[in-house]
Amino acid sequence: MVQFNEESILQAIEKIDSQPELRKGRDSFEYDLKFKNKTYPPILVLSEASKILGGTELTLKDFNNSTKSAFKLLNEHGFIVEKKNATEGLTPKVWVEKTIVEDRPDRIEGEYALGKRMWSPTKDKRGANIYGFMREVSEGDIILHLTDNYGFTGVSKVKDKYIEGKGVANSNWEGDAYLVDLKEYVDLVPLPKSKILTEENKKLLLDIKSKHNVFYNSELTLRQGAYITECPKLLFDLINKIYYSENQSYIPYLPFPSSNDVDLQTIQVDAPFQIDAFATDVKAAGLLLNPDIITRFICSLLTKPFVILTGLSGSGKTKLAQAFAKWMSLDDNQICIVPVGADWTNREPLLGFPNALETGKYVLPENGALSLLIEANKPENQHKPYFLILDEMNLSHVERYFADFLSVMESTGSIPLHTQTAEWKDHVPSSIKLPTNLFIVGTVNIDETTYMFSPKVLDRANVIEFRVTRNELETFLDAGGRIDLNLIAGKGAAMAESFLEKASDKNLMQSDPNNINSSLLSFFDELRELGAEFGYRTASEIKRFAAVVNKLEPSWSDEKVIDAAVMQKLLPKVHGSRRKLEDVLKALASICLRDKENIDAVKLEELQESSLDASICRYPLSLEKIARMQRGLVNNGFTSYAEA
């Protein structure tokens, strides 16, 4: 162990002050080092001092599991170590409570009066256990009481950890409940949320939300089901400082904020977009997806904001689209999930129509699709992504209800909605664009009730197929967890501007496009001989997809990128009879092999995923799909990319 000195310990304290994340998981349970009216975990201080002196990280085990020897070292260098206040416990957490009593002069009396007891149901109306934070509240924790109408109105301490009992009698929630008793309630001069929600502070709230397990939206309103939420240090410091500026006193019980704790200039509110961050968060929410599928989905959205997800029913198509939208969005008004109806024969279910019976009135679709487009087009919303998710998109003929969208995707024109008149009463423009911050995802199931896509649709989208392998199913069964997308809501919103910048960067290029170019020409040459070649749009979108993947996932090889692109852009348009496709599939399969001459020795319909060795196969994903299509061709005399 290193030889400690006063200077190294002071440097360690300074480092902990500047990097509060170092405290995570390192707080002491019984003792604190006290220095200039602040407290520090003694072992953590010594550990950081050790690293400063060139030593290793230390834990209590390095002191033979004895705090006495560690504290003696600190005492010898003039530092004070004191036992924690028994009633306060570990450095208390701060929580924000969604106060059910809105009208302060008429707040209810009795055991549930403000500052006496918090309660929540043990389960919501669906039977889901979503009030878990109530079980984490501990004795001595601090509760900030928040109402929608008055803002922060009071502060309490927690008297004891939760018990299970019954809720408020003669109410909708008089059943099983979590109960937390409070003490030492103090009324505050109400601090309205409007005092907090400046534009700069909204950015800070967004940054806090992206880094912590909190459940508020951009208006500092707790989401439904979140009766309490954690209040990270940056948030309660911000609230405390604003309260002080209004009342010349700090909020009781909250630690005084230091002058540098809340510095908007150092907060990263426009974080760089990272696929790994989403993959990590979505896994924590219980949604198990193939990492390659996640990468292909996100890079496809950035290539062109129209993606079709097809494949096995119940394999996570809609969940992926919904999860990414919630992760990227500040609140739910940026997302519209529309179940497509089998009776959709025109554009009205998505775009509405002028009311023929009342001049100047427009009938908006109840599903919110047009309202989403209007919001996305507003200048003040250009920094936020919006998501339109069309569920079971092929239950009706896509070309009938989606023709206007398909047209303007290429022309960058506007969709006409009505003829503007002086008497127009609704805030519906005469025409509307598909803005660059709008992303459209369609999910597809294939069975006897659905319709196939035309080349016009497929040519404008990346098509991603979902399948479930045995290993993935086994992992899912072993996990046994419940999917809760509320856990990731808004976590990636700080990356939204970076995501939109990448989506609008039309100059994104690969550093070395030669491999992609030569591969595209190989596919083109083989397919041209059979009259199945592709055009400029497909080629340019594959090149852009490759550039996006190269930017976000540089670990992907060129072959892996091409494999995904062929699977998403070329194979979806392949369908037809055995006479038409037998030579086409064989030609495509030959390009997927490292030695194309070996194709004559391969029984395509017998190929299995387990036999696609990388030493002989360049594009295993595409070759395995071609083999499945070939089996359909042999068995049924007809095949297509979409499988029932």
Neighbour-count burial of 98, counting CB atoms closer than 10 A to its CB (0-12 exposed, 13-18 middle, 19+ buried): buried
pLDDT at 635 over 60: yes
380 lies in the same domain as 364: yes
Helix (H) or strand (E) holding 69: helix 67-76
Residue 124 vs residue 389, higher pLDDT: 389
CA 33 – CA 173 distance, rounded (Å): 45
CB 403 within 8 A of CB 347: yes
Q: Provide the 8-state DSSP code for 220.
A: S
CA 43 – CA 26 distance, rounded (Å): 8
Which of 503, 537, 554 is where one domain is finished?
503
CATH of the domain at 255: 3.10.590.10
Token pair of 365 as six digits: 């679709």
pLDDT at 107 over 70: no
Please write the tens of the pLDDT for every residue from 178-195. 889 998 888 889 999 889
550 lies in the same domain as 491: no
pLDDT at 104 over 50: no
Can you list the positions of beta strands (E) in 267-344? Answer: 306-311, 335-339
CA 311 to chain centre: 23
Token pair of 551 as six digits: 């930017």
Please check whether residue 299 lies inside any domain of the structure. Answer: yes
Helix (H) or strand (E) holding 515: helix 514-528
Please write the tens of the pLDDT for every residue from 277-321. 899 888 888 888 889 999 999 999 999 999 999 988 888 899 999
326 lies in the same domain as 475: yes
pLDDT of residue 341: 92
Please write the tens of the pLDDT for every residue from 434-473. 999 999 999 988 776 677 788 788 888 999 999 887 887 8
Closest CA to 152 of 209, 223, 92, 99: 99
Side-chain half-sphere exposure of 243, counting CA atoms within 13 A: 23
pLDDT at 177 over 90: no
For 605-635, the three-class secondary structure string (H helix, E strand, C coil) is HHCCHHHCCCCCECCHHHHHHHHHHHHHHHH
Neighbour-count burial of 567, counting CB atoms closer than 10 A to its CB (0-12 exposed, 13-18 middle, 19+ buried): buried
Mean pLDDT, residues 326-355: 90
Contacts 24+ apart (CB under 8 A), 369-376: 369/336, 369/338, 370/417, 370/428, 370/432, 371/336, 372/334, 372/335, 372/336, 372/438, 373/432, 373/434, 373/435, 373/438, 374/427, 374/428, 374/429, 374/432, 375/333, 375/334, 376/435, 376/437, 376/438
Please check whether residue 1 lies inside any domain of the structure. Answer: no
Please check whether residue 268 lies inside any domain of the structure. Answer: no
- pLDDT-derived band of residue 10, with 50, 70 and 90 as boundaries? very high
Q: How far is CA 166 from CA 100, 118, 122, 161, 229, in A?
A: 17, 12, 9, 16, 22
Overall number of domains in the chain? 4
439 lies in the same domain as 314: yes
pLDDT of residue 548: 94
238 lies in the same domain as 286: no
493 lies in the same domain as 513: no
pLDDT of residue 422: 52
Q: Which residue has the tokens 């800070």?
A: 204
Token pair of 614 as six digits: 């990388």
Mean pLDDT, residues 468-481: 76
- pLDDT-derived band of residue 234, with 50, 70 and 90 as boundaries? confident
pLDDT of residue 100: 59
205 lies in the same domain as 293: no
Token pair of 264 as six digits: 């908007």
Which of 461, 482, 503 is where one domain is finished?
503
32, β-bridge pairs: 82
Please check whether residue 88 lies inside any domain of the structure. Answer: no
pLDDT at 238 over 90: no
259 lies in the same domain as 286: no
**How are beta strands 462-466 and 306-311 bridged, if at all?**
parallel
Share of the chain above pLDDT 90, in %: 24
Rounded to two decimals, the pTM is 0.64
Residue 59 vs residue 433, higher pLDDT: 433
Please write the tens of the pLDDT for every residue from 510-520. 767 888 898 89
Please write the tens of the pLDDT for every residue from 147-158. 888 889 889 999
Mean pLDDT, residues 546-571: 92
pLDDT of residue 86: 34
Please check whether residue 325 lies inside any domain of the structure. Answer: yes
164 lies in the same domain as 227: yes
Please check whether residue 269 lies inside any domain of the structure. Answer: no
67 lies in the same domain as 185: no
CA 493 – CA 330 distance, rounded (Å): 6
Please check whether residue 544 lies inside any domain of the structure. Answer: yes
Which of 55, 83, 111 is where one domain is finished?
83
CA 286 – CA 279 distance, rounded (Å): 11
List of residues 6+ apart from 587 with CB closer than 8 A: 526, 527, 529, 530
Please write the tens of the pLDDT for every residue from 251-267. 888 765 544 444 433 34
Q: Provide the 8-state DSSP code for 569.
A: I
Please check whether residue 133 lies inside any domain of the structure. Answer: yes
CB 291 within 8 A of CB 556: no
- pLDDT-derived band of residue 411, with 50, 70 and 90 as boundaries? confident
Q: Provide the 8-state DSSP code for 348.
A: H
Q: Which residue has the tokens 């937390």?
A: 180
pLDDT of residue 430: 85
Closest CA to 332 of 375, 301, 271, 298: 375
The count of other CB atoms within 10 Å of the CB of residue 26 is 15
Residue 11's domain spans which residues?
6-83
Please write the tens of the pLDDT for every residue from 618-633. 898 999 899 888 888 8
289 lies in the same domain as 150: no
CA 619 – CA 564 distance, rounded (Å): 8
pLDDT of residue 187: 87
Q: How far is CA 423 from CA 112, 324, 427, in A?
A: 53, 41, 12
CATH of the domain at 322: 3.40.50.300
Q: Provide the 8-state DSSP code for 393.
A: G
pLDDT of residue 105: 41
257 lies in the same domain as 293: no
pLDDT at 242 over 60: yes
Closest CA to 45 of 36, 37, 35: 35
Mean pLDDT over the full length of the chain: 82
Q: Provide the 8-state DSSP code for 53.
A: T
Closest CA to 547 of 588, 591, 503: 503
List of residues 6+ apart from 152 with CB closer than 8 A: 144, 145, 146, 188, 190, 191, 239, 243, 251
CB 98 within 8 A of CB 226: yes
